[in-house]
Amino acid sequence: MNQNIPAPAPVVRLIQELNRLPGIGPKSAQRLAYYIIRLPAQEAQELADAVLGVKDRIIFCSICQNLTEIDPCDICSGPRRDRSLVCVVEEPLDVLAMERAGFYRGLYHILHGVISPMNGVGPENLRIRELLPRLQDGSVKEVIIGVNPTLEGDATAMYVHRLVSPLGIKVSNLARGLPVGGQLEYADEVTLSRAYQGRREF
Amino acid sequence: MPPGRLYRVQGVVLKSAQMGEGDLLVTLLTRDGSKLRAMAWGARKLTSRKMGHLEPLTLVDLALSKTRGIDGITQAQSLETFAVLKSSLEATAKAFYLSELVDGFALEGGPNPPMYDLFLGALRAVQDSADDSAVVLRFQLNLLQVNGFMPELYRCVDCRRRILPGDHRFSVSLGGALCSGCAPPGAAIAPLSLNAMKALRHFHRNPAPDAPRLRIPPALYEEIKSLLDGAVRYWLDRDIRSAKFMEHVDGRKAKTLHPNPSTQGV
Ligand SMILES: [Zn+2]
Ligand SMILES: [Zn+2]
């Protein structure tokens, strides 16, 4: 954009709003804005409706904290789910990935982030506390921690473990191993040592 | 250095931030004690060999490529991963805090080798004795020292007379200890106990993180901590965000960890 000739105010505002989205820099925001400007009115309306629709109709499941239209969500109210297992994940997208893989029949608990002290995100900013009431009636036998194997993910896992283990419930971690398709020789030491620690009997 | 030139650097990763689709912006304290920010393009792809080496709190050897903007990381090899430290919640919380302080004081293009030695030594000390609360206090005081903000502990900052045992107070903004006779108008002055003064002087004379252990009772710890926190906040001119989490998981206050004690199991 030419510095001397500012874009009309509504365009500037759209660029600013898009720029606030994660992963969207100023250049991408400009490209998206001008793409939206060229859209037929009908399509622009549909985009706006979709944005407002998620804000109006999507709520947090009061049990697992996942995003849902009905409370409790389909998974929490599913008749065939194994209610003795709760898998703790960072984001709703992680639930989608697990469900796509199709092997897991238990329930979930979505934290909506990880503990990130340097960014000012503590346990109180996540939905960790909401896990405890779910573990009171004795039906849950195992909590499986499935957060990403990063430093912050590990700190979050240790924190959840510390919170849950006094309740006498088994806490396990997803094994952190080698990515399928990855090659042993290219793995870094951390991944390798975790793959070793997570080894299981054949 | 002209763009495209390769160079190597060793340092400790202070933090990393996800950028765009699969890139990682890494901030390091290099061995010369300056701050370096570099981009690892594509590091978050599962097949990348770099990601595991670029986790925060890793001592890493990097090959970098000079660019006009931010330099690119072409190779990464971890030299020390602090795996034991990272297996303890208390130690990890302390290490986050140390990293945030270093990130606050370190300057890009501003070498400060003693700060690197201090930081690496403190990480190792936290790893070796996660329950030693003095490690963080000793680090705070000596971090101020290596950055030129050492509080005066031996002479009154106002009248310059030698501080006598039992006759001392403390002012962050005036730069250290005051005798009881001096009270410059407008300065915030806090009490400073004899034991706190002794501990501060001990940390100053024994800066090495593996110095003999000092037993610090909780009340004394709180006094020194609030004083050093005040000094750090004063010189950085901002709050240290990871302090809250470090205090939250502190072993001595573990009771507060359960948000609702009545729901605690047996
Ligand atoms: Zn649910
Ligand atoms: Zn004086």
Please give the tally of structural domains in chain B. Answer: 2
Closest approach of chain B CAs to the CA of A162, in angstroms? 9
Residue B205 domain flag: yes
Same domain, B76 and B90: no
**Residues B167 and B186: beta-carbon distance below 8 Å:** no
Say what the pLDDT of residue A89 is: 94
Same domain, B154 and B221: yes
Residue B57 domain flag: yes
Same domain, B62 and B158: no
Residues of chain A with CATH 1.10.8.420: 9-52
**Residue B96: which of A118, A136, A188 has the nearest Cβ?**
A118
What is the mean pLDDT of the segment spanning B213-231? 91
Element (H, E) at B18: strand B6-19
User: From ligand 2's centre to the CA of B227, what distance in Å?
Assistant: 19
The domain spanning residue B68 has which CATH number? 2.40.50.140
Same domain, B232 and B102: yes
Closest approach of chain B CAs to the CA of A138, in angstroms? 10
CA neighbor of B49 nearest in space, from A83, A58, A186: A186
- Chain segment B118-127, per-residue pLDDT in tens: 999 999 999 9
Say what the pLDDT of residue B258 is: 47
Same domain, B237 and B121: yes
Q: What is the mean pLDDT of each run of 10 residues along chain A (202 residues)?
A: 69 93 85 93 94 90 96 96 95 90 92 94 95 94 90 94 93 75 64 70 62
When pLDDT is cut at 50, 70 and 90, the band that residue B263 belongs to is very low
User: From ligand 2's centre to the CA of B204, what distance in Å?
Assistant: 21
Ligand nearest B178 Cα, by number?
Answer: 2
Closest approach of chain A CAs to the CA of B178, in angstroms? 34
Same domain, B69 and B110: no
Domain A9-52 has CATH 1.10.8.420: yes
Say what the pLDDT of residue B4 is: 78
Closest approach of chain A CAs to the CA of B241, in angstroms? 5
Same domain, B164 and B70: no
Structure tokens at B55: 């986790």
Examine the fold and report which residue of B36, B65, B81 is the final residue of a domain before the chain moves on: B81
- Total-model pTM: 0.85
The CA–CA distances, whole Å, from B229 to A28, A95, B23 equal 41, 41, 34
Residue B226 domain flag: yes
The nearest alpha carbon in chain A to B239 belongs to A120
Would you mind telling me the total number of residues written for chain A in this entry? 202
Three-class DSSP category at A68: strand
SS3 content of chain A, % helix, strand, coil (to 5): 50, 15, 40
- Chain segment A77-89, per-residue pLDDT in tens: 999 999 999 999 9
* Residue labelled with tokens 């194994």: A82
- Chain segment B2-48, per-residue pLDDT in tens: 777 899 999 999 999 888 777 889 999 999 999 999 999 887 665 56
CATH number (3.40.50.720, 3.40.50.2000, 3.40.30.10, 3.40.1360.10) of A79-201 reads: 3.40.1360.10
Same domain, B47 and B115: no
User: From ligand 2's centre to the CA of B160, what distance in Å?
Assistant: 6
Residues of chain B positioned with their CB less than 8 A from the CB of A120: 241
Q: Domain of residue B129: give its range.
A: 84-250
Residue B152 domain flag: yes
Name residues whose C-beta falls within 8 Å of residue B130's C-beta, 6 or more positions apart in sequence.
Answer: B85, B88, B90, B91, B94
CA neighbor of B103 nearest in space, from B194, B12, B168: B12
**Residues B143 and B165: beta-carbon distance below 8 Å:** no
Residue B11 domain flag: yes
Ligand nearest B152 Cα, by number?
Answer: 2
The domain spanning residue B224 has which CATH number? 1.20.1440.120
- Is B21 close to A23, i.e. CB distance below 8 A? yes
Mean pLDDT of chain B, nearest integer: 88
**Residues B246 and B94: beta-carbon distance below 8 Å:** yes
Same domain, B163 and B37: no
**Alpha carbons A187 and A176: distance in angstroms, whole number:** 12
Residues of A with CB under 8 A from a CB of B: 23, 25, 115, 117-120, 122-124, 129, 132-133, 135-136, 150-151, 154-155, 158-159, 162-163, 166-168, 179, 181-182, 186-191, 193
Number of Cβ pairs closer than 8 Å across A and B? 96
Same domain, B77 and B147: no
> Residue B58: pLDDT above 60?
yes
Residue B263 domain flag: no
Residues of chain A with CATH 3.40.1360.10: 79-201
**Residue A119: which of B78, B88, B241 has the nearest Cβ?**
B241
Residue B203 domain flag: yes
User: From ligand 1's centre to the CA of A138, what distance in Å?
Assistant: 18
